[in-house]
Structure 1
């Protein structure tokens, strides 16, 4: 029989045992959770800031692209987790790329112009559904020979019907009137499709929008953009024409003979709203966070930033199934916003994954598809998705093809030069003599001229086909110089062949001249002696 005291002791012992067990379990659980949390933090930290893996990936791609330099920024949430410069801002002077080095943005400029258009709409200054002629009365455009209305929204979404080849109409011009001159260059032109019916990317669409901004704001496009950019806290982003110190800008390069060569591109100030803002990765990092809604900004700006990713109620898809919003390609699911930028000697790529609060920006001082591949690859690294296939880099491929063509063409030209030298030596030694053309010879010479014309016509058509209708003077700005050498070489071969056959026809070799034909070229007295 247990006593009351014994029961008390047992109850007390059981209580102590229960409490001790609970404390031990809680301690063990807490340590396990802490270890798990530390492991997760370590994993996430490694995933976000594993600089050695990121550096290696970027450096490998830049080596493949022959890019002199680049700068990359990665944001996640409200934090810049990576920002770094690579290579050279000036290869010849040995000036490295830093986070503050400025690059031309190319077509990623369009998102800034698109935002300015949405701001004017928000202020009640313009309507996206209004025809452009409400603001630029002289900008009449035709479809199948009949004037048609093209709305501001259609220019914004590249459904205006203005063809891609309108790029060729943008003049080389550094004056303050360059923007209006550029847009006036398409006034009265024929559209490739009825406005609103199909998507066709045409860079000049955004020059039209830039001129509308200028017309309605009472400021130049550049002045309006500087004001907006400063309000957004992008103090190092500016139009090229507003630059006061070009020492901050990376020199631009083009590929030539499989290596980068500095290329001072022509000035297209009239194309500024579509491709000629400058920025650095410090500002692009903030721009990415603005898109993701992760930094404080005036509510009015946040509203239009959100709207800039909306492709509208009747969007048109591009060949990859993306929609075009206000300067952004938006995936069909709406879970990715991106844009590439290409100028003759710069390239950029910006990509955002809003659901994952992730953004990547890449700037380079050469026009290369690897800028795009770096951006896509970094997203894959952070999201643990399969690494995308490398994009075919068009310009190095074109350079290699053109180098082979130049070698072959050079060999043909050398052979023809030797043939022509031999021909003229024969003329000098009087081994050849002039003979008035017979009807058969005229026919031969006429056939040569016809073939010559067909040769040049065929080359022109081939160039038009290969370069999307762009004329040779535009191709010369964008393509590697080896391409132009090859094209001029092909033209020169045709001219040399024409000259060779014409001389050979007019001055045949004397051994092949009949006695009757030869009598025409010797003196009459000598002819009598022969008889």
Structure 2
């Protein structure tokens, strides 16, 4: 019988899928991880898997530091960045259990000096709102107050929230932020009468036996078994210096290892119950943390990754919530300079997967957790490592091509409106504060006053737009710097924007609006 076009297409698709499945190597965790390390140029990684209350694996792969032989093991510490948010959420959940606060208490009840840009939002913001990314702040708004390492204190960061303008209406939509988790961490510290790190150590880490976990980069560096951070510089992996963030611990403060993160996932999957039968936090609060609070936009993946598209996507309290192959997943990612991590749990299967890496590469983690998920959920396997490698390479090529076209299209013959010296001086933004532009060694150098590592040379791009090339090349965050002039030729303001779409959103240059200070040397064209 002759097949119709529809049936022929279906038959071809099934044949192609079957052929792909047949070509996928059999699941072998060690082989898969080592392949991912090589494919994505990641020096070291730690993997923890728990299933049905048992630790299946908690071990390391690769090396702690490129160029040195010391291997990653189950006790090697990694910065896990935003996977710390779950610890802050759990700390607040414990305070709810103790009756010391309620999720829907106004923040001002516990932090009387708390203030947002809008007075209405200040009064209406609840403890729950601090954790759910629906405050109206834009993506990563205000992150330059702590990223890269700054000299602002936690209290200074919280005080400067009142100057950060919202991007949307209060509770109107999801936009990921870090500053409000810093506020949440401050509540925990105030209730405990001690710093966030000490409170989390006493209330969560010690009861769970997470004896290796540290709550600051300084503590991690004082141990003998920790991983060095690695970033790409000109597309080549390199060791970079750690980025201490003691002022942002409520959002990014945990440094842990495979063995300890396995204990954390076990108690989460057991609704807060510890091995001794006691509740770290109640089952009611465990459920609350994994209950959808803020809807998240579902984006269409590239065709090769179509199977990763969720049917629902939302943020809970310290966790992203979605589905895969009919199962609910609670997960989160973490990124700091030189470190990426993922913690993922499938409650229905009592399955937890944690991947800690010492490089900035999310496809390496995604390819592995889908590989592990497919194995434990017993679904048709895909060669996720190859699929993600192909997508990463294609996306990077597209970005380089886009930048190339932008560079070619610029007005090459244009010149700045003013002599270069006229752009020198101090500029101030309402929430960040001051930066300076001065001549140093014959070059114009921009410096962020409260961010020691954020300095770079300006080069002319076109008209009154320059590019700042940061001296710390691992930032991968070079930015456009554009000046606007008043009618009399003096400088009215200066704005910034990242050059690359691959720049981490925490370099929120787009939110800055600098104006010359009264003592600025910026002036008119004589």
TM-score > 0.5 by shorter chain: yes
* Post-superposition offset of 1:235: 1.7
Structure 2: 5+ residue runs without aligned partners?
A: 1-24, 299-309, 414-459, 469-478, 483-495, 510-526
The structure carrying a bigger helix percent of its residues is: 1
Structure 2 counterpart of 1:373, from 367, 370, 378: 367
The 3 A distance-change label for structure 1 pair 405 and 68 is: farther
Paired with 1:473 and 1:327, the residues of 2 have a C-alpha distance of: 22
Structure 1 counterpart of 2:295, from 316, 326, 329: 316
Structure 1 residue 301 and structure 2 residue 281: aligned? yes
Paired with 1:245 and 1:454, the residues of 2 have a C-alpha distance of: 44
* Post-superposition offset of 1:283: 0.8
* Post-superposition offset of 1:131: 1.9
1:216 alignment partner in structure 2: 191
Whether the 8 Å contact between 1:105 and 1:278 is mirrored in structure 2 is yes
Structure 2 counterpart of 1:184, from 134, 146, 159: 159
The 5-angstrom pairing of residues 92-131 of structure 1 reads 92-131=67-106
Structure 2 counterpart of 1:349, from 342, 346, 351: 342
* Post-superposition offset of 1:453: 1.7
- Bigger-Rg structure (1/2): 1
2:322 alignment partner in structure 1: 331
Whether the 8 Å contact between 1:132 and 1:152 is mirrored in structure 2 is yes
The 3 A distance-change label for structure 1 pair 97 and 400 is: farther
- Stretch of structure 1 that moved more, 190-199 or 347-356: 190-199
Structure 1 residue 79 and structure 2 residue 54: aligned? yes
* Post-superposition offset of 1:68: 0.3
Structure 2 counterpart of 1:453, from 434, 443, 464: 464
TM-score using structure 1 length:
0.64
* Post-superposition offset of 1:95: 0.9
Whether the 8 Å contact between 2:296 and 2:313 is mirrored in structure 1 is yes
* Post-superposition offset of 1:470: 7.7
The 3 A distance-change label for structure 1 pair 271 and 299 is: same
Paired with 1:361 and 1:288, the residues of 2 have a C-alpha distance of: 8
* Post-superposition offset of 1:392: 6.8
2:255 alignment partner in structure 1: 278
Whether the 8 Å contact between 1:165 and 1:469 is mirrored in structure 2 is no
2:515 alignment partner in structure 1: none
* Post-superposition offset of 1:143: 4.1
* Post-superposition offset of 1:456: 6.7
Whether the 8 Å contact between 2:243 and 2:336 is mirrored in structure 1 is no
Whether the 8 Å contact between 1:174 and 1:269 is mirrored in structure 2 is no
Structure 1 counterpart of 2:352, from 359, 365, 373: 359
Deviations 1:74-116 (A, max 9, x none): 1111211223211000222211101110000111111111000
1:150 alignment partner in structure 2: 125
Whether the 8 Å contact between 2:89 and 2:289 is mirrored in structure 1 is no
* Post-superposition offset of 1:225: 0.7
Q: What count of residue pairs does the alignment treat as equivalent?
A: 390
1:136 alignment partner in structure 2: 111
2:523 alignment partner in structure 1: none
Paired with 1:410 and 1:302, the residues of 2 have a C-alpha distance of: 56
The 5-angstrom pairing of residues 4-23 of structure 1 reads none
Structure 2 counterpart of 1:261, from 234, 238, 257: 238
The 3 A distance-change label for structure 1 pair 454 and 284 is: closer
2:207 alignment partner in structure 1: 231
Deviations 1:297-323 (A, max 9, x none): 4225243662353335x5423436322
The 3 A distance-change label for structure 1 pair 391 and 273 is: farther
Whether the 8 Å contact between 2:147 and 2:507 is mirrored in structure 1 is no
SS at 1:211's partner residue? helix
- What RMSD over aligned residues (CA atoms) do the two structures have, in Å? 3.9
Whether the 8 Å contact between 2:212 and 2:256 is mirrored in structure 1 is yes
The 5-angstrom pairing of residues 357-506 of structure 1 reads 357-369=350-362, 370-387=364-381, 389=384, 390-391=387-388, 452-453=463-464, 459-460=480-481, 463-464=497-498, 466-467=500-501
Deviations 1:32-89 (A, max 9, x none): xxxxxxxxxxxxxxxxxx9971111111112121100001111111211223211000
Paired with 1:452 and 1:258, the residues of 2 have a C-alpha distance of: 30
Structure 1: 5+ residue runs without aligned partners?
A: 1-49, 417-448, 476-531
- Stretch of structure 1 that moved more, 93-102 or 249-258: 249-258
Structure 1 residue 340 and structure 2 residue 319: aligned? no
The 3 A distance-change label for structure 1 pair 396 and 101 is: farther
SS at 1:190's partner residue? coil
1:445 alignment partner in structure 2: none
The 3 A distance-change label for structure 1 pair 300 and 64 is: closer
2:38 alignment partner in structure 1: 63
